[in-house]
Amino acid sequence: MNRCQSKEKRTPGSKVFVACLLFSLTGYAGAAIEFNSIAENMVIMYDAPSLRAEKLYVAGRFLPVEIVVEVDGWAKVRDSSGSLAWVEKKALSTQRFVVVTVPLASIHKAADTTSELVFQAEQNIVMEWLDADTTGWVKVRHSDGQIGYVKANQVWGS
């Protein structure tokens, strides 16, 4: 018996019925979030999955995006601001990046706030995601080659 079944009869107006319906429509709980990045220098983001759709904005290379849905060569993506747009899937890369979401993020030598400070990154700086093997921390590489750990709550895309 799955979570949405019980011996008790449910009516379409019951809260449990609605919750189970939403659960089944949205997939399973705990679904992995899929992050990609923009693979090209200038990528047009659209309001619908078509080259004839309204152009919303241009995204730059390495911008991290969360894939929300994929349809016939297109992906609906969310960026760090929460904005949704459609992009051709061929313009995406599986290489992951994160973007700093706080005014100034501290990147440390180890996944510990008492470890040596390697550098600091300002808001909206994009860094390559290397790993997230320590809970609450993300290993990153800055474009100048410096590597360190940033608290996961200071970046988006991890």
CATH number for the domain spanning 149: value is 2.30.30.40
**So what's the pLDDT on residue 71?**
96
The amino acid that residue 63 corresponds to is L
**So what's the pLDDT on residue 32?**
73
Mean pLDDT value across residues 64-85: 97
pLDDT above 60: residue 90: yes
For residue 132, the tally of other CB atoms under 10 A from its CB is 17
Let me know if residue 103 belongs to a domain. yes
Residue 84 pLDDT grade (very low, low, confident, very high; cuts 50, 70, 90): very high
Domain range holding 65?
34-95
> Of the residues 46, 69, 95, which one is the last residue of a structural domain?
95
Query: What is the phi/psi pair of residue 139, to 5°?
Result: -85, 130
The amino acid that residue 12 corresponds to is P
> Of the residues 95, 129, 147, which one is the last residue of a structural domain?
95
- Quick: pLDDT tens for 13-53: 444 433 333 343 444 444 578 999 999 999 999 999 999 99
SS3 content of the chain, % helix, strand, coil (to 5): 10, 45, 45
Label residue 30 exposed, middle or buried (CB < 10 Å: 0-12, 13-18, 19+).
exposed
Q: How far is CA 49 from CA 3, 69, 70, 76, 86, in A?
A: 35, 11, 9, 8, 6
- Quick: pLDDT tens for 110-132: 999 999 999 999 999 999 999 99
pTM for this entry = 0.77
The domain tally of the chain equals 2
